[in-house]
Amino acid sequence: DAEITQSPRHKITETGRQVTLACHQTWNHNNMFWYRQDLGHGLRLIHYSYGVQDTNKGEVSDGYSVSRSNTEDLPLTLESAASSQTSVYFCASSPNLGEKLFFGSGTQLSVL
């Protein structure tokens, strides 16, 4: 079955380190998204992509970057991890504009 997978499931890192979270989907969806979820804030959009070589900033993009070199993957990079980036990160994809999102199982990131 097609799916969307995130790795790692859990990550502990130190402030200042570069961290990359992986997201891979096998649905061949054009649209991919990264959200973070924190208590009191809900899901907030970090970056998104509508296709290969396309990337866009979301509402909380500072300190994060993404790249889209193929349809299946949208890795999220924290250039220099900060304690404020401790969160649960969800990747999602959708086949067409305006359609529902399918989420990965999330990555719990702790920055110490």
Query: Among residues 112, 110, 106, 111, which one has the least CA distance to residue 37?
Result: 106
Please identify, using beta-carbon distances, which residue of 40 and 112 lies nearer to other proteins.
40
Please identify, using beta-carbon distances, which residue of 15 and 42 lies nearer to other proteins.
42
C-alpha distances in Å from residue 102, one per residue of 38, 88, 110: 19, 16, 24
SS3 string, 2-32, reads: CCEEEECCEEEECCCCCEEEEEEECCCCCEE
Encoded amino acid at 18, one letter: Q
Please identify, using beta-carbon distances, which residue of 35 and 111 lies nearer to other proteins.
35
Number of residues written out for the chain: 112
Least distance CB 36 / other proteins (angstroms): 11
Q: Which residues bind other proteins (CB under 8 A)?
A: 31, 33, 35, 40-43, 45, 48, 50, 58, 88, 90, 94, 96-106
Least distance CB 66 / other proteins (angstroms): 14
Least distance CB 18 / other proteins (angstroms): 25
